[in-house]
Amino acid sequence: MNVLGLSCFYHDSAAALLKDGKIVAACQEERLSRKRHDSGFPTKSVKYVLREAGIGVEDLDAVGFYDKPLLKFERMLSTYVATFPRSFASFRKAMPPWVKEKLWMPSLIRKELRPYKGPILFAEHHMSHAASCFLVSPYEEAAILTVDGVGEWATSSFGVGKGSDITLFKEIRFPHSLGLLYSAFTYYLGFKVNSAEYKVMGLAPYGKPVHFDRIMKEMVHLNEDGSFKLNMDFFAYDYGLKMTSERFSDFFGGPPRKAETWMAEREFDIAASVQKVCEEVVLTMARYIHKETGSDNLCMAGGVALNCVANGRVIRETPFKNLFVQPAAGDAGGAVGVAHYLYNTIEKQPRTKGWTHAYLGPEYKDDEIQQYLDARGTKYKVLSDGDVTRATAQHIADGNVIGWYQGRMEFGPRALGGRSILGDPRDPKMRDTLNMKIKFREGFRPFAPSVMADKASEWFDIACDSPYMLLVAQVRDGKRVIPAVTHVDNSARLQTVTREESPLYYDLIAEFEKITGVPIVINTSFNVRGEPIVCTPHDAYMCFMRTNMDYLVMGHYILDKKEQPPLNEDVDWRTQFELD
């Protein structure tokens, strides 16, 4: 049975394909279209996942869409009516795309998937999130927590999964939303909503949560069962074209920060305060859901589940013994969720083995890489597996920055050793080098360590795996020799790497340990600011040549920047990507 899952028309559109219950491929449209957070119909991703499965559209047995457009439209109309006339400008902007295409989703899907004539299922947004984390998890039963901006009406849902069944027994409804609260602060701090929330999380350790008590007293009312209400006088997202109201600005003593302007202690403290609010709400939700379910296992999805600082506190400070967070926790993961929901829950098919990695995107073999490199007239060396890892490890140890392009591309927002930029975590200058000369991004943003899983607990205060870079842990005392991946609060957002799932990447880190005694490398996504993570050899080569990376390792081919012909471009690449 071939099941196609789709998510689109909000942000991070994606397609995923199940073949007899096993995920064959999943891809975000942005990686192929090269448009960050592409929200359009995932035409290119659909073509890719079908090709990976070796089937055509006519071979599909069912198609699932990750939310219910009519319910979402009902919520929007109800909200606009309730907040009229303040909502008129937002109403006028939002309605044309709904009237033109979003309300006609079944017809649109059939048009895009011609000649498909089979069934189309629409699952509720938070059910897709719930399915995306539970049905791919390693647990036979688990509590489920999904938290995001908003789906149809739900902004958070509490549930339980057993076998192939999912029951959502409680929800928090719009406009009361933890995700939108965090996005409102993102907006106020001058960052891009639905794109740069992670910057607020990275900024928070530089400040103190001095506003926490005021926010919890005047802006957020949190109950013991994890439910909460927002004082909507502070917000404008329910009726306007901006996230916060004048009262919000008055609360913090000034207007929203303008993007790309200087930040000081005031902004640091605001970020620290909302981050603490987020953590406390998530912890309260998790404790309540554990009380209700009694499960040792928790599965999480939704955009807020990408807040790895909060996740780290959940596993350390709640009664849950095991935590699984969907690596593509945002809307992209909804494509996987609805496909599994259709196959496992609706069709009552047994679940297959849970996810152990997120390498579900396109792969380019050595012959394809060589063909591209030869066509460009590049200079390269060809090495065996062992020589590739040894040479790369030595280059990293010598202080070089490496573009690492291997195997299948990752699904989700994190680079996990398939499309990564690597560096030496021991070098205190490496973070600034990567931020300023490679990524061209803000200097406050931290970098993640990739660590051999069997050595992780020696270096970090963590007792479980973190394969998807979605947990934050403290660097252990006596291990302060990795300043480039240690944040200002002595924390690190780590990825644990096993040889079973990432043999070449694991061997590279092991070779680096042989040279340096440190089983860790810096891992950041292979892109520049505003650019989607690279997908093709062309994407990788162009990013390599446009930045100050020293070496590019694609498959078994190693390229030295100094030996490459000059890159002649007609277009300034900085105009190609919209800053996040």
Domains (range + CATH), the chain: 2-66+68-122+331-346 (3.30.420.40), 173-325 (3.30.420.40), 366-575 (3.90.870.20)
In this structure, the dihedral spanned by the alpha carbons of residues 305, 311, 314 and 316, taken in order and rounded to 10 degrees, is 170
Between CA 19 and CA 237 the distance in angstroms is 40
Low-confidence ranges of the chain (pLDDT < 70): 570-574
Take residue 366 and report the two structure tokens written for it.
């050595």
- Taking alpha carbons only, the member of 15, 12, 25, 2 closest to residue 358 is 25
Give CA separation, 260 vs 184, 245, 366, 420, 569, in Å: 17, 21, 41, 26, 27
Task: Report how far Cα 538 is from the mean position of its chain's Cα atoms.
Answer: 23
Residue type at 440?
A: F
- The predicted model scores a pTM of 0.96
Take residue 364 and report the two structure tokens written for it.
């380019």
Look up tokens 């690596």; give the residue.
Answer: 327
Q: How many helices (DSSP H) and strands (DSSP E) are in the chain? A: 19, 21
- Taking alpha carbons only, the member of 424, 383, 360 closest to residue 555 is 383
- Taking alpha carbons only, the member of 455, 474, 475, 480 closest to residue 465 is 455
- Taking alpha carbons only, the member of 337, 410, 355 closest to residue 146 is 337
CB-based burial of residue 363 (10 Å sphere; 0-12 exposed, 13-18 middle, 19+ buried)? Answer: middle
Between CA 53 and CA 24 the distance in angstroms is 6
Residue type at 537?
A: P
**Would you say 297 and 143 are in contact if contact means Cβ atoms under 8 Å apart?**
yes
Between CA 529 and CA 517 the distance in angstroms is 32
Between CA 305 and CA 540 the distance in angstroms is 29
Give CA separation, 221 vs 218, 229, 232, 249, 279, in Å: 8, 5, 11, 19, 15
CA dihedral over 468, 472, 477, 479, signed as positive or negative: positive
Between CA 109 and CA 64 the distance in angstroms is 10
CB atoms within 10 A of CB 108: 18
| 347-396 per-position pLDDT tens digit | 999 999 889 999 999 999 999 999 999 999 999 999 999 999 999 999 99
Q: Give first-to-last CA distance, the chain, whole Å.
A: 39
pLDDT, residue 115, reads 95
H-type alpha helices, 318-471: 333-340, 366-376, 385-397, 430-433, 456-459
| Cα-based angle 304, 310, 314 (whole degrees, multiple of 5) | 115
Cα maximum dimension of the chain: 67
What residues are paired with 19 via a beta bridge?
Answer: 2, 22
